[in-house]
Structure 1
Amino acid sequence: MTDPTPTPGIHHVTCIASDPQESLDFWVEALGLRLVKRSVNQDDPGTYHFFFADEEGTPGTSMTFFPWADLPQGEVGAGQVARTAFRVPEDSLDYWEGRFEEHDIEYSDRFERVIDGPDVDRTTEIVLPFRDPDGLPLELVAVSIPDDDPTVPWTEFVPEDAAIRGFHSVTLWESEPDRTAALLETMGLEEAGTVSADDGPGGQRRRFSASGPVGKYVDLVETGERGRQGSGTVHHVAFQTPTDDDQMAMRSAVREAGLNPTRQIDRHWFRSVYFREFGGVLFELATSGPGYTSDEPLEGLGERLVLPGEFEQRRGEIESQLADVTVPRPETAASGE
């Protein structure tokens, strides 16, 4: 079989929240991401699906949420995405610590991670850990943002020199990481050294690097601790397969590796294939298009409830099941309304 085109990296990460308004307030007002799509869970249309991203919804910047109020609190463990990390500009962590204080966000002291290995140059990254209102473990990683970076910062709440610029990495906790490591290599990621001085179990990660500029890292941590899915945990992580041909080739490679991917599913803004990797983490392959502006103009992203396909015919029924929410605006936030 011909090797598939390597994935450029993470496309989006989808998580579980409890309260939809709290989720909007945190990700839009406190963290400064744009609500680029307000929709519903296509498998459970009585539940919102929020998409938070950069100004244009660039692939590699979308953090999405299902707010399920009736789920218990989750607990991170083996077979889960244990940490989701975002890139922020160098020298912006002082700003973020101040913002976390201002918005009463739980965070920990920043620390250094050292990336080293026989075939890599020793480097250090500065990490600021924090949590969302449901306890979801998150990180900011200070990086140098190149002039040709594809992300477009949204600056309604956070200035450009501090704005989140898409994903840095996800960390997978695995009971037997070697098979997952082989799968990542099948998907085109390359082992890029070990990461020490870590805050997770075992004190060390194996890092894998994709080919793109955003969301390029996946870290593996070995642990026997079991978790449970619920609010404050990741539902799945999606990797970019930009075209349909890329996706079908990757799907074939995943099947040959011994996994059981779904057929292609049309998610309206991208087309998806899902499978559980060997350790139990739910992976998605997602195309780059049609994109979030396929049904709304760029300037109007997130302004209305978008119900794709057949769901539009059920608008009245669906809207009656959804809680009323208000998207934060700078003018109302400043006035305290």
Structure 2
Amino acid sequence: MKLLGLHHVSLITGKAEKNYQFFTKVLGMRLVKKTVNQDNTQSYHLFYGDAKGSPGTEITFFDIPNAGRTYPGVSSISSTSLRVKSTESLHYWKERFSQHSITHEEIVKRAGRDTLAFQDYEGTRLILVADNGEEGVVPGEPWNQSDIPVEHGIVGLGPVTLTVADAEPTVRVLTELLGFREAGSYPSLAGDFPDIKVFATGEGGAGAEVHIETRPDLPRERPGRGSVHHVAFRVPTIEEYDYWAKRLEESGLPNSGKVERYYFKALYFRELNHILFELSTDEPGFDVDEPIESLGERLALPPFLEPRRNEIEASLRPLELESE
């Protein structure tokens, strides 16, 4: 059984309002779910994705207003990629970033693809990657209710980069436990360091890759606003979820066991360099409690939290979003 690719990536924001403005108004993504952190219901959890909230397109944020700054380092998910259709789109985005005074780099090759690195206002390290017709995990559908031309819209998650002091333990988990395969390498853009290794799962392509950067010179990351909390990989069915739960238990790695998130079922564990991984089911999806046409327009709570709605809403700080 194979994992299909990336499911979602979850990060930390210190200001959900500005985060919403950036991801919906600047990047043109859709707010597909406004809910709470199920492990801390006093905190919002915002999901941005494609037009339908498809698995493999979501970048999510926990709202932690008192979060400090991030001190980058190893044992971290150091960058998150977002897919666009073409190199032409990258040129569009480079101009847009300049117009909005957004920190960005030049268009360069990573793993044979044209890419454009940039940062949001919290220093979140993001990369746009051009598909250019590459085969692999199919893209999502760009949100057509923003001012971004549809042909340049964001269509899903691209590779995540893991930065570690020693790649071998992480490689072992990816290949021996999770079934990833080595799919190449490319030179580090940070200087005279080992080549960045590329690992793929499922049908491959940008939506199914993990890149491993070896940086023995760096300290361990101290996470804060703009840092990545975890990366989740796609499990297609509930039956396969049961298989992965058993496989994780048999691996000897400490793990969460089965966790019901309502929109998906989850399994959490830390790989050997202490990066948090999640395995998440595609089913049932974000439209299980809201019609696709009105995703993200209200505070959504799973059924096991719905009886506490009044209490939860009273404990949340006011959140003023333009969509409301």
**TM-score grouping bracket, smaller chain normalisation:** over 0.9
Confirm whether residue 307 of structure 1 aligns to residue 301 of structure 2. yes
Partner of 1:285: 279
Give the aligned partner of residue 256 of structure 2: 262
> Over residues 86-129 of structure 1, what are the superposed CA-to-partner deviations in whole Å (9 max), with x where a residue is unaligned?
1111111111012212322211222223x4xxxxxxxx211111
Partner residue in 2 for 1:118: none
1:246 aligns with 2:240: yes
**Structure 2, unaligned runs of 5 or more:** none
Is 1:26 matched with 2:22? Answer: yes
Instruction: Describe the superposition over 1:280-311 as per-residue Cα deviations: whole angstroms up to 9, x where unpaired.
Output: 10000101111000000010100100121232
Identity %: 36
User: 1:28–1:328: 8 Å Cα contact kept in structure 2?
Assistant: no
Query: Contact between 1:198 and 1:204, CA under 8 Å: does it hold in 2?
Result: no
CA contact (8 A) 1:201 1:221 kept: no
Query: How many equivalent pairs are there?
Result: 317
| Distance change (3 Å), C-alpha of 1:160 and 1:126 | same
Aligned to 1:194: 185
Matches of 1:249 and 1:222, distance apart in 2: 31
Distance 2:167 2:307 in 1: 45
What is residue 129 of structure 2 aligned with on the other side? Answer: 141
Answer yes or no: is the 8 Å Cα contact 1:183–1:257 preserved in 2. Answer: no
Q: Which residue of 1 aligns with 2:119?
A: 131
Instruction: Give the Å deviation of 1:76.
Output: 2.4
CA shift for structure 1 position 173: 0.8
- C-alpha spacing 1:197/1:176, structure 2 compared with 1 (3 Å): closer
What are the within-5 Å matches in structure 2 for residues 197-212 of structure 1? 197-199=188-190, 202=193, 204-212=195-203
Q: Deviations over 1:234-281 (max 9, x none)?
A: 000001112122122223333444312221111010000100000010
Partner Cα distance (1:62, 1:258) in 2:
30
Taking the aligned partners of 2:29 and 2:278, their CA distance within structure 1 comes to: 22
Report the equivalent of 1:153.
142
Taking the aligned partners of 2:155 and 2:302, their CA distance within structure 1 comes to 28
Tell me the secondary structure at the aligned position of residue 92 of structure 1: helix
Root mean square deviation of aligned Cα: 2.0
For residues 244 and 260 of structure 1, the distance between their equivalents in structure 2, rounded to whole angstroms, comes to: 21
1:79 touches 1:281 (CA, 8 Å); kept in 2? yes
**Aligned-residue offset at 1:55:** 0.5
Aligned AA (1:176): D
Letter paired with 1:169: P
* 2:62 aligned with 1:83: no
* TM-score normalised by the chain length of structure 1: 0.89
* Mapped partners of 1:146, 1:179: distance in 2: 30
Give distance in 2, aligned partners of 1:110 and 1:178: 30
Aligned to 1:105: 102
Report if aligned partners of 1:75, 1:232 keep a CA contact under 8 Å in 2: no
**Offset at residue 201 of structure 1 (A):** 7.6
Report if aligned partners of 1:251, 1:261 keep a CA contact under 8 Å in 2: no
Distance 2:304 2:158 in 1: 35
Give the CA deviation at 1:204: 2.2
8 Å CA contact retained: 2:131, 2:206:
no
Q: Distance in 2 between matches of 1:251 and 1:280?
A: 19
Q: TM-score, normalised by structure 2?
A: 0.92
Deviation at 1:199, TM superposition (A): 3.8
Tell me, in whole angstroms, the C-alpha distance in 1 between the residues paired with 2:168 and 2:249: 18
